[in-house]
Structure 1
């Protein structure tokens, strides 16, 4: 079985913050999800996406920016793809959709104990938010090497691996072009590429 990437372009308002805040309840928006074909050289350049499966001594080159983990200020649309909501059946109100898959506290504990998942917090939706502003969540166990990069960091990461634009597929070039348009000084947005891998 091969390795795939889940890639999302997220944005936040420049007027609200000088950059992404890293605070769960601060608003971040999804610009788009990009379907990028398998390219293990590219995956390793971004965050050791493929080479993490091998002995470090066998890896010729490591990512310039090691995986940073998933941002705490994820947009809602990205959070529901990465996390499951920790909630007992008795606490679920079937009248209101959360968008998340549910897991029990005991199941979440088992996931984390294996080392394949981790806990997080996301902004709770109404009416649940009346009890608590944040929800406890746990990452899906088949994702690995989550991270995020700015446009400039992506360019540096590709250069570190000596990857040129002619070597990457059109979907990734389109993603970079979108980042270039959104990342101009005249733009009202800050942007980042948020991603993780799965196999």
Structure 2
């Protein structure tokens, strides 16, 4: 039960994440409790409400979360990522199913994605604890994502988890 969680682990040399690098993409199995811990839903609180998609974000996060707006099918060739027609993009922006992304070219969030946010490792741990979720009960994918974050920070870098949900 729940929505599919998608996430990218980013690293940065600075706490400001002015030039984040995408390190790994994960798509853990559906898990309602983790979903609620990250974003809060169905009148259940979470430790830190979803903050929206970060700006700036790594090219990896943008490529997984976004769609390139194209005028014609021929324009879609060569992007190497998912595209969306200008007509559908305009509809999605108007209905607020998508939002514009600041990146090279014209990008919007994929219309099937919702509740984007980001958490640093200490915030993620607090969010899970607040929701009563033990790390050992998380999926292997989610545990690996946290391990990547720990590894980045053990080496003196900064890490964050950028997440969103696919419905």
TM-score range, shorter chain: 0.7 to 0.9
User: Deviation digits for residues 91-142 of structure 1, max 9, x if unmatched?
Assistant: 9385xx22233334332221112221111221x2xxxxxxxxxx22111111
Partner of 1:89: 72
Give 1:6 shift: 0.5
Is the aligned partner of 1:4 residue 2:4?
yes
Go from structure 1 to structure 2 and tell me whether the alpha carbon gap of 1:137 and 1:93 turns closer, same or farther (over 3 Å shift).
closer
Query: Under a length normalisation based on structure 1, what TM-score does the superposition of the two structures give?
Result: 0.74
The equivalent position to 1:147 in structure 2, one of 87, 111, 117, is: 117
Partner of 1:196: 164
Give 1:45 shift: 0.4
Partner of 1:100: 81
The equivalent position to 1:175 in structure 2, one of 142, 145, 156, is: 145
SS in 2 for 1:78: helix
User: Are the aligned partners of 1:9 and 1:193 in contact in 2 as well (CA < 8 Å)?
Assistant: yes
Give 1:44 shift: 0.5
Is the aligned partner of 1:156 residue 2:126?
yes
Give 1:82 shift: 1.3
The equivalent position to 1:30 in structure 2, one of 10, 18, 22, is: 22
The equivalent position to 1:20 in structure 2, one of 17, 40, 49, is: 17
SS in 2 for 1:183: helix
User: Are the aligned partners of 1:6 and 1:34 in contact in 2 as well (CA < 8 Å)?
Assistant: yes
User: Deviation digits for residues 52-108 of structure 1, max 9, x if unmatched?
Assistant: xx4xxxx3x3111111111122222221221111232399385xx222333343322
SS in 1 for 2:107: strand
Structure 2 gap segments, 5+ residues each: none
Partner of 1:40: 32
Distance in 2 separating the partners of 1:138 and 1:5: 19
User: Deviation digits for residues 145-187 of structure 1, max 9, x if unmatched?
Assistant: 0111000000110111121223222322222122112113x42
Which runs of structure 1 show a deviation greater than 6 angstroms over 4 or more consecutive aligned residues? none
The structure number with the bigger radius of gyration is 1
Partner of 1:62: 45
